[in-house]
């Protein structure tokens, strides 16, 4: 009886198992790399979107007070449609590393994630914002919002 050159069922299943393990490990590695890139490299889009939301002309924000430690900024906005005025606070939460805006009477709107520190500084009649991200990246801008008293 001649023996044929072929893989046995056990050898074939072992090969498939090894290929499956390699594929699974590669997928996990790719996902970890993607996640670390997202976490450590804040997107320029989120910074630009934040500036756009704060500097909108439709219902403009006005700054009204700067906290003594310069980590919180009091904002005010009047709705053009109904004339209703609302106060907001722009601040950083250390727990989630998120720069967000909260309404004095409630509400919460996250703007930028992975923020290590934020500082506001009064420059003439405008406010400068300096943000340091967890990745070490720095961003700063002079916000085109006026003082409420003007």
- 11-20 pLDDT, tens digit per residue, is 999 999 999 9
Mean pLDDT to the nearest integer, 103-112: 84
Q: Which of 28-37, 92-101, 106-115 has the lowest mean pLDDT?
A: 28-37
DSSP H helices in 1-150: 9-40, 44-54
Which burial class, exposed, middle or buried, applies to 75 when counting CB atoms under 10 A from its CB (0-12, 13-18, 19+)? buried
Q: What is the pLDDT of residues 18-39, one digit of tens each?
A: 999 999 999 999 888 877 666 5
Q: Report the predicted TM-score, pTM, of the whole model to 2 decimal places.
A: 0.65
Say if residues 82 and 108 touch (Cβ distance below 8 Å).
no
Q: How confident is the prediction for the chain on average, in pLDDT?
A: 84
Q: How far is CA 146 from CA 6, 56, 61, 103, 133, in A?
A: 80, 12, 8, 19, 26
pLDDT band per the 50, 70, 90 thresholds, residue 1: low
pLDDT at 94 over 60: yes
How long is the chain? 150
Query: What are the angstrom distances between the C-alpha of 56 and each of 2, 50, 51, 96, 143?
Result: 83, 10, 8, 26, 11
Token readout for 90 is 């722009």
pLDDT at 50 over 80: yes
Q: What local confidence, expressed as pLDDT, does residue 85 receive?
A: 84
């Amino acid at each position: 009886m001649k023996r044929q050159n072929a893989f046995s069922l056990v050898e074939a299943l072992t090969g498939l198992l090894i290929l499956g393990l390699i594929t699974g490990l590669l997928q996990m590695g790719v996902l970890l790399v993607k996640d670390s890139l997202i976490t450590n490299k804040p997107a320029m889009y989120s910074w630009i979107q934040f500036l756009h939301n704060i500097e909108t002309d439709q219902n403009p924000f006005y700054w009204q007070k700067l906290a003594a430690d310069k980590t919180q900024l009091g904002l005010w906005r009047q709705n053009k449609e109904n004339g209703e005025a609302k106060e907001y606070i722009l601040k950083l939460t250390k727990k989630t590393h998120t720069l967000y805006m909260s309404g004095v009477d409630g509400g919460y709107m996250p703007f930028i994630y992975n923020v290590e520190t934020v500082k506001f500084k009064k420059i003439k009649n405008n406010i400068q914002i300096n943000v340091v991200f967890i990745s070490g990246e720095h961003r700063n801008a002079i916000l085109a919002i006026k003082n409420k008293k003007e």
